[in-house]
Amino acid sequence: MAAATTVNYVNHRYRRFSSPTENQNKRRVTAYFNDVAINDGDKRPNKSTRLAKSISNLLNLYIEKPSLRNFLQLDESDAVAQAEAKLETPTMSPKEDISRIWREIHGGSDWENLLDPLHPAVRREVVKYGEFAQATYDAFDFDSFSEYCGSCLFNRRKLFGKLGLTKHGYDVSKYLYAMSQFEIPRWLEKSYVADTWSKDSNWMGYVAVSDDVESRRIGRRDIVVSWRGTVLPSEWYEDMQRDLEPLGHGEAKVERGFLSIYKSKSISTRYNKKSASEQVMEEVKRLITLYKEKGEEISLTITGHSLGGALALLNAYEAAMTFPTLPISVISFGAPRVGNIAFRDELHHKGVKALRVTIKQDLVPRMPGIVFNETLQKFDDLTGTLEWVYHHVGAELKLDVGASPFLKRGSNFIGIHHPETYLHLVDGYVSSTSTFRSDAKRDVALVNKYVDMLVNDLRIPPCWYQLSNKGLVSNKFGRWVRPKREPEDIPLPIQEENYDL
């Protein structure tokens, strides 16, 4: 399947269409952008029932077309030579001035004729935002034995410096935290041995803004919101079997779990007295006010991988309602479906531009709604608008693991879904019928940071990105201990953050 370069939106007449499950007693969530009300009714189907449903859905996966690799007859033996030839070359393309074309680069025409073949400026910008999304994993404290498990390892002023992202010319202005008010999934579990940081919340992303040099290059002051995904897709797949829930007072509906994470708050918590929604919108509003007073043109770009891509769409929807004239674009990686056709159409009518970067072999973008999804749109004349059916949003840049001579084949679903795999494939993508570009810039070794996706001949160890000695250090007595964080890296409640932008 070639990458989609055009999105044809259809004006639908919204008709009430009863869901087959509508009359069953369930625990329901009614969520509005002003507050969240959670009503506990009868228990939801037990886990065995949901597991059976999940297996049934997986059995309905469509059969993939032959791999692009088979079509192009790529030679894996050349992978080592290509990798060695790149060892003494720069890891990023030169920064070209896009100030005159930034609106097109950000979807002014829904990326028509810019994705297949991929425009070089689009590639570079997509990689930039993808690295912002990757940063939410690299800086997250996954260590279950850490007293700060679930927080960011560094304070916001050090984040990009620690991760080598100062090259992009952005400064982090605020950290974002999220929680959930129903059946806490495993990605929210805290430390096994200590819980002094937060038992309810996790660091979920950040807001950043382009500096003066970058703003001149890209033609406006760009506000970026980056949302983190989960550690593994298997950890939240079960939570994506929930029903669509109303969003506001219209016909738009979105997946229950995503909305709960975005909107949940509790006065008893330290970091989520305000929801992730309130945190991000307050900061975006502050930055817009600051730079509008300076007479600058402003854009909002929201990015995220996996669950982060779902939160990015919810964030874009709310921002479009609050700032109707603000250029808003979403660049997501491996994101699942979020809402129904009304949600998709409302985003379109509000002017939100969305680019979904997907991999053909990745299962996550097919969920939820593996069976009941936008493919049923062709039957609208018979069925009417199916408001309980999931729909993807925006244009699609579809990649293929088989296009890269550096990647292993097989059913490594975790490795395929990983954001570094996405960034590798974007960097090497030319078109749906072309080989992996020989002058791709990103370091191939990055693919194996957390997974085992590179061919063995490259001799790059899997999961090499980790703390030396698993974080333990030898003290002055020669005893191995867990070091204390630097005082400036200890997370503070969000109300204590200082703003210097």
Crossing angle of helices 120-138 and 419-428, rounded to 10°: 160
Half-sphere exposure of 471 (CA within 13 A, CB side): 13
**Residue whose C-alpha is closest to residue 296's, from 251, 263, 327, 253:** 327
**Residue whose C-alpha is closest to residue 373's, from 343, 347, 339, 335:** 339
What is the SS3 assignment for 454? strand
> How distant is the alpha carbon of residue 22 from its chain centre?
30
Give the largest Cα separation in the chain, rounded: 77
Active site residues: 306, 362, 417
254: Cβ–Cβ under 8 A, 6 or more apart, which residues? 244, 245, 247, 314, 338, 339, 340, 343
What sign does the dihedral 210-215-218-220 (CA atoms) show? Answer: positive
From CA 68, how far away is CA 240, in angstroms rounded?
30
- Which pair of tokens denotes residue 47? 């886990």
From CA 430, how far away is CA 270, in angstroms rounded?
47
Residue with tokens 């997946």: 255
From CA 241, how far away is CA 470, in angstroms rounded?
36
Evaluate whether 174 touches 497 at the Cβ level (below 8 Å): yes
Evaluate whether 128 touches 135 at the Cβ level (below 8 Å): no
Work out the angle at residue 350's Cα, subtended by the Cα atoms of residues 349 and 353, and round it to the nearest 5 degrees.
Answer: 90
- Which pair of tokens denotes residue 269? 């918590």
Q: What are phi and psi of 233, to 5 degrees?
A: -60, -30
- Which pair of tokens denotes residue 71? 């079509």
